[in-house]
């Protein structure tokens, strides 16, 4: 029977041409190594068998990754537990993280990852590998957040925080509080999102915070400030994040740059977008489609052109709709732009047909009616919708009549005069009474 080294070389040589054969060889090595390690061989042979098993396991996982086979990769992780039970806890954690990272190259594998993580969390709990369990749970919460499973993520976070506070592990505590902030932000509870972020920063201040974690904290701070319409502060946080991530060649730097451009647009400074993209740090991202989409948004906003804005949203749908932060702020920007266009159209008239207004802005009559009603209620302009005739009656800005206010002020002054006269009349009477 050929040695494991020969089998490994053979499997590597046929992996690209005959992946089925390579898979069989790797499984053969795993089974033979397992039988060898359970017999009475020497320590050196047993160590070599474990190394061969580890190599075969990694190669088999890479093979499934290259074939985009998520279920096959999940099976490798499950089968590897018998091997991991005989290794050090630190090495086990590293191997599992390595195998789980292979899922990143497989599209549409999120649910398989969630299932694998939950299975391995149960195994870690049975084996009493607490730190591995916490690491896997953090990864699971991040996936549940991506899958919009907020309720499950919060339940997992609550359990994690209870355990971590007993251990007083500040690093993991920072990561969990940051995830908690992101989950609360996802469900729209910004008060709790800010509280969780404050807890994360408090925990981070008592330890050395790695650059990638500090960048994640700054990014979340910027997002929450942007939700409060404080775009200047948000921009400063996004800039810090961009510099930090760019220095580490982190792909997340692209998102930070997109948020910086978004802040400029929301601050009504679309002309600054071009200047920002000419900065040395941003030049390597300037030609990417994600950045082109933000540049197109800035141009449409600068031109106050609703049709152009809608065209950009259609042309760059994937780039602009996939991010919750950009999607929500662009929706508010679109609403503002629609309001400005409606005002520009109706202000010259005292009466105008709703159909004409809808045609000018390129929207349906129902949407235009709803928006005009909202603008009237918000007192953006004064008017009445005559739905019977299908018209909008626009009134001039009413002049403020201060007659009532002036009358009240006059009565107040008269009251003071009467009080003063009454006091003067009463004073001699009191004086004469005191003489007796």
Task: Give the contacts of 274 (CB within 8 A, at least 6 positions apart).
Answer: 295, 298
**Alpha-carbon span 138 to 207, nearest angstrom:** 19
What are the distances in angstroms from CA 410 to CA 65, 148, 247, 388, 414? 86, 63, 70, 46, 6
**Alpha-carbon span 310 to 172, nearest angstrom:** 43
The values of phi and psi at residue 19, to 5°, are -60, -30
Residue with tokens 């355990």: 163
CA neighbor of 294 nearest in space, from 269, 325, 270: 270
Task: Give the contacts of 157 (CB within 8 A, at least 6 positions apart).
Answer: 141, 176, 179, 180, 183
What confidence score (pLDDT) does residue 324 get?
86
What confidence score (pLDDT) does residue 30 get?
67
Contact assessment for residue 195 and residue 220, using Cβ atoms and an 8 Å cutoff? no
Structure tokens belonging to residue 64: 């499934």
**Alpha-carbon span 178 to 221, nearest angstrom:** 10
- Consecutive H or E run containing 351: strand 351-353
Distance of CA 261 to the CA centre of its chain: 16
The whole-model pTM stands at 0.75
Contact assessment for residue 34 and residue 82, using Cβ atoms and an 8 Å cutoff? yes
What confidence score (pLDDT) does residue 180 get?
94
CA neighbor of 277 nearest in space, from 310, 233, 267, 293: 293
Q: Where are the domains of the chain?
A: 233-347, 349-416
Average pLDDT per consecutive 10 residues, the chain (436 residues; last block may be shorter): 61 64 69 50 66 75 80 81 70 81 82 87 84 88 90 91 83 92 92 93 88 92 92 93 89 90 89 85 86 89 84 87 87 86 85 86 84 84 83 76 83 89 74 53
What confidence score (pLDDT) does residue 64 get?
78
- Consecutive H or E run containing 391: strand 391-394
For residues 252-265, one letter each, b for 16 or more C-beta atoms within 10 angstroms of the residue's C-beta and e for the rest, the string is bbbbbbbbbbbbbb
Residue with tokens 């508010």: 332
Contact assessment for residue 245 and residue 215, using Cβ atoms and an 8 Å cutoff? yes
Residue with tokens 């690093």: 171
What confidence score (pLDDT) does residue 432 get?
56
CA neighbor of 326 nearest in space, from 206, 238, 422, 417: 238
Regarding the domain delimited by 349-416, which CATH topology (the fold level of the hierarchy) does it fall under? Arc Repressor Mutant, subunit A (1.10.10)
């Amino acid at each position: 029977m050929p040695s494991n080294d020969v089998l490994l070389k053979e499997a590597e040589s046929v992996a690209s041409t005959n992946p089925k054969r390579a898979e069989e060889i790797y499984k053969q090595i795993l089974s033979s190594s397992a039988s060898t390690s359970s017999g009475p061989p020497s320590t050196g042979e047993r160590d070599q068998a474990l190394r061969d098993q580890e190599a075969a396991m990694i190669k088999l996982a890479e093979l499934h990754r290259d074939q985009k086979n998520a279920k096959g990769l999940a099976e490798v992780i499950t089968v590897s537990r018998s091997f991991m039970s005989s290794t050090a806890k630190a090495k086990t954690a590293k191997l599992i993280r390595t195998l789980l990272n292979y899922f990143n190259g497989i599209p549409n594998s999120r649910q398989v990852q969630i299932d694998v993580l939950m299975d391995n969390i149960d195994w870690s709990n049975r084996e009493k590998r607490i730190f591995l369990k916490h690491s896997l749970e953090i990864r699971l919460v991040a996936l549940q957040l991506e899958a919009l499973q907020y309720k499950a993520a919060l339940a997992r976070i609550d359990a994690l925080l209870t355990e971590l506070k007993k251990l007083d592990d500040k690093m993991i505590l920072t990561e969990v509080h940051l995830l908690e902030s992101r989950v609360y932000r996802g469900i729209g509870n910004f008060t709790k999102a800010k509280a969780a972020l404050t807890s994360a920063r408090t925990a981070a201040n008592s330890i050395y915070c790695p650059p990638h974690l500090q960048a994640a904290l700054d990014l979340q701070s910027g997002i929450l400030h942007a939700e409060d319409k404080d775009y200047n502060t948000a921009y400063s946080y996004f800039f810090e994040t961009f510099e930090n991530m760019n220095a580490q060649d982190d792909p997340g730097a692209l998102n930070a740059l997109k948020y910086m451009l978004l802040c400029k647009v929301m601050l009504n400074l679309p002309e600054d977008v071009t200047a920002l993209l000419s900065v040395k740090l941003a030049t390597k991202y300037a030609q990417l489609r994600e950045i082109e989409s933000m540049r197109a948004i800035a141009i449409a906003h600068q031109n106050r052109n609703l049709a152009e804005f809608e065209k950009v949203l259609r042309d760059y749908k994937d780039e602009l709709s996939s991010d919750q932060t950009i999607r929500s702020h662009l929706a508010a920007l679109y609403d503002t732009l629609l309001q400005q266009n409606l005002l520009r159209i109706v202000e010259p008239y005292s009466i105008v047909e709703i159909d004409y207004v809808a045609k000018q802005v390129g929207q349906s009559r129902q949407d235009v009616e709803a928006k005009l009603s909202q603008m009237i209620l918000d007192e953006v302009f004064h008017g009445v919708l005559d739905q019977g005739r299908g018209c909008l009656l626009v009134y001039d800005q009413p002049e403020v009549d201060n007659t009532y206010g002036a009358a009240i002020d006059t009565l107040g002054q008269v009251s003071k005069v009467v009080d003063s006269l009454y006091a003067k009349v009463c004073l001699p009477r009191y004086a004469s009474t005191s003489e007796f």
